[in-house]
Amino acid sequence: MLRELRAAAMDASGTPGRCSQGGAAFPACTPLQGSCGFKSSDALKSSLSSEVCRRVRKQNCEANLNSKKSAPTPVTRRFASLESTPANGTLKPKKDLILMKEKKKQKTLEKEIRALVRERGEQDKKLRALEEDFVKIEAKLSAAVQEKTSFLANVACLKKQLLELTRTNEFLKSKLSEDGMQKKMSSLCMELMKLRNKRDAKEKTALAKQENMEMKLQEVQRNLEHSKGKVAQLEEKLSATERGKAEEKSDTEKLLEYITELSHVAETVEKYKLDVAQMEETLIKKDQDLEILRDTRKTEEEQSSELIKELNERCQLLQQEKEKELSETREKFLSLNAEIEDLKRKMCLEEQEHQKLLQKHEEVVSQLQQEKESSASMHQKLLEFQDEVTSDRRLLEEELNDTMNELSKLHAKEKKAEKLVKQLEQEMKSQALELAQMEVKLNGKNAELEQIKEMHSNAVLQIQEEHSNTLCKLGKSVAEFESYKKTIAEEIHSLKLENTSLQEEVANLKKIGQDNLQLLQEAEKTKNKAKEECARMLLEVQTKLALKEAETEGTKESYLAQIAKLKEKLEEQTEDLKRKLEVERSRKTINEDVTSSLKEEIKTWRNLYEDLHNKTKPFQQQLDAFEAEKTALLNEHGATQEELNKLSDAYAKLLGHQNQKQKIKHVMKLKEENTHLKQDISKLRALLAKEKQTSRDLQEQLYAIQGIRRFDYSKAFQHDSKENIVPKTPLKEGNKNKI
């Protein structure tokens, strides 16, 4: 808009335009007062261009007046012999200047309308882009929901595997109670350790996937906030266009006031014309008969009294119209002040939102540090687990050596006791078969151990890759946040500048109102002077009629010259007034069309905002479902912990028949494992608390986007219920509003 107005001002300073209606040459128009108050540099440029335009206008007007003066009219030819002095044309330049100003204003308004149409097209394009972004975000959300369902399926599979493992464990326990073999116990312990490791790995993968889901949700919410910011910017542009309309309306009202003043002047001129015509008739009849002159004098007095009455009535009507216009201007000033206060409130709200965003950024940084610490602790746990696996393998090898020693002792006993050879051979065969089975099992367990090691190394590599990816994403998010912070600071600065410019415009409007009041007072003074002059002229005419007949010839010539001038002025004024009325009618129709189109656009924007509000409701329901799933997973984790405790008690009972040293070692290992598991559980609980906090933050962000106030700070610490308790059921909309 500003560039187009500057180009129009430069065109006005360089090349003058032509009017299609009147045919007079005039320069292109300067921009309006309300359209060039955004920056100081633009205001200076517009003021310089307006000064250049005024100089060019004056030169063109003088040239046009000289050309018009050179061409004589039939009235001037008629009275050229009677009058020696030329006609006085001081009022023509003023009228031409007024016409040219109005036509220039019309051109600027047309340019502004074109610019508004272009802006509307750009806004439509932006709206389409926003709708496409919204569709993409919905697709991302659907993908996230699908991933969530896949995670749930994985959890169900893990539950089934746990049930199968518990069954196999019970079966193995029954076998151990029947056989009572130490090797089987050790193998079962190894299998239990492997199962625990598998379960831990699966829990880690589930936690990593859940974190990825939360990151995706955060990205979706950022996209939503970005789209809402764009909608707010478009609404601000609409408000700016409405302000421009209000300024155009004020300009039209000023033009109407000026036209009313011109109509008053025309009426006074018409009165003078009538008086002069009557005087001509009386002078012509005076040569013929004095008695006819006396009759005409009486008629003239009656007509003058009627004209004075009509003038008084018109003056009263004009005063009423002025009072109405003054009241309207006061109302407009009040509305402008209210708009300025609204802008100040919006500025305060935006500053508060900026502070909230800074706090959220600090929370995100703290969460990152906590995640780094947790990853380091997990790495240490993995190293400890490898050490435990190696120690268990050594114990198994020692147990195998013990069994081999026992076999050698049995062979010695066979040599000593030859009588029980048959029985011992049968027992040896059975033991040999069992040993073969145990060796096969040991080979299988070793293969499984190697597979577990490979799985563990792969899992470590995946965790490292995911950690690096998360760090990259966090760096990107920090950079985006810093850029967003810079843009917000720039917007705040621009809003402050706009506020100052608006305040300056308000001050200028107040000055213009005062100037208009002064002009109205001056017009009233001139009107009173004109009335006094009319009365004085009437008295002079009456005295001149009563005076000598010799003076009648001189007065004839002077009155005829005045009549010719007044006729020319009246014709010009009537033509100017007709043109102005046509221009104003066209402007009114254009303004009405523009206002109707802008109202329709406002309705469409409101409908779009309501659609966005309705589309964000399912996100809230999904968050409630996530909370319910978290509570279910926590309950399942507690059940698995109880089962593990039962298994540990059963193992402690089964260890009663073993050696005391081995029993003590095994119990110590179990205690250490129990402590490690407790530490893992505490860390998992801390992670769950963090996830709950992040989910609450996401809910609060959704409430802030939807404009719902979640918590009343005036009622804090005034209720008996406990805080920080996870709800057993997902919250509904009514319950959330209560919280």
Per-residue CA distances from 625 to 33, 332, 684, 701 (Å): 58, 53, 21, 17
At 348-386, the pLDDT tens digits run 787 777 677 777 767 766 776 776 676 667 667 767 766
Residue 639 exposed, middle or buried by CB count within 10 Å (0-12, 13-18, 19+) = exposed
What's the pLDDT at 654? 63
For 214-249, the pLDDT digits (tens) are 787 777 777 777 767 776 777 777 777 778 767 777
Angle, helices 91-179/550-654, rounded to nearest 10 degrees: 10
Residue 27, beta-bridge partner list = 16
Please give the pLDDT value at position 67: 46
pLDDT surpasses 80 at 302: no
Q: Tell me the per-residue pLDDT of 406-432, one tens digit each, with 9 for 90 and over.
A: 666 766 665 665 666 566 567 667 766
Rg of the chain on CA atoms, in Å? 50
Position 14 scores a pLDDT of 44
Q: Taking Cα atoms as reference points, which of 252, 219, 242, 162 lies closest to residue 644? A: 162
Q: pLDDT band at residue 32, thresholds of 50, 70 and 90?
A: very low
Answer yes or no: are the C-beta atoms of 13 and 51 closer than 8 Å. Answer: no
Res 590: pLDDT: 87
Q: DSSP letters of 26-61?
A: EEPPPPPSGGG-S-HHHHHHHHHHHHHHHHHHHHHH
Q: Tell me the pLDDT band of 45, cut-offs 50, 70 and 90.
A: very low
Residue 707: left (phi > 0), alpha (psi -120 to 50), or beta? left
Tell me which amino acid residue 338 is.
A
Residue 286, pLDDT score: 60
A 10 A CB-CB count for 126 gives 15
E runs forming strands in 195-285: none
Specify the pTM.
0.18
Mean pLDDT of 530-548: 68
CA distance 29 to 104: 4
pLDDT of residue 486: 78
pLDDT score recorded for residue 124: 80
What is the mean pLDDT of the segment spanning 101-126?
Answer: 83
3-class DSSP state for residue 18? Answer: strand
Give yes or no for residue 287 having a pLDDT over 80: no
End-to-end, the C-alpha distance of the chain in Å comes to: 49
Whole-number average pLDDT of the chain? 69
Separation of alpha carbons 387 and 92, rounded Å: 108
Strand partners of residue 18: 25
Residue 39 has a pLDDT of: 38
Dist. CA 576–CA 92, nearest whole Å: 11
pLDDT band at 28 (very low <50, low <70, confident <90, very high): very low
- pLDDT of amino acid 678: 79
- Which helix H or strand E contains 65, and what residues bound it? helix 40-70
Choose among 672, 670, 675, 635: nearest CA to 650: 670
Give yes or no for a contact between 705 and 223, defined as CB atoms under 8 angstroms apart.
no
pLDDT surpasses 80 at 114: yes
What tens digit of pLDDT does each residue of 616-635 get?
A: 667 766 766 677 677 767 77
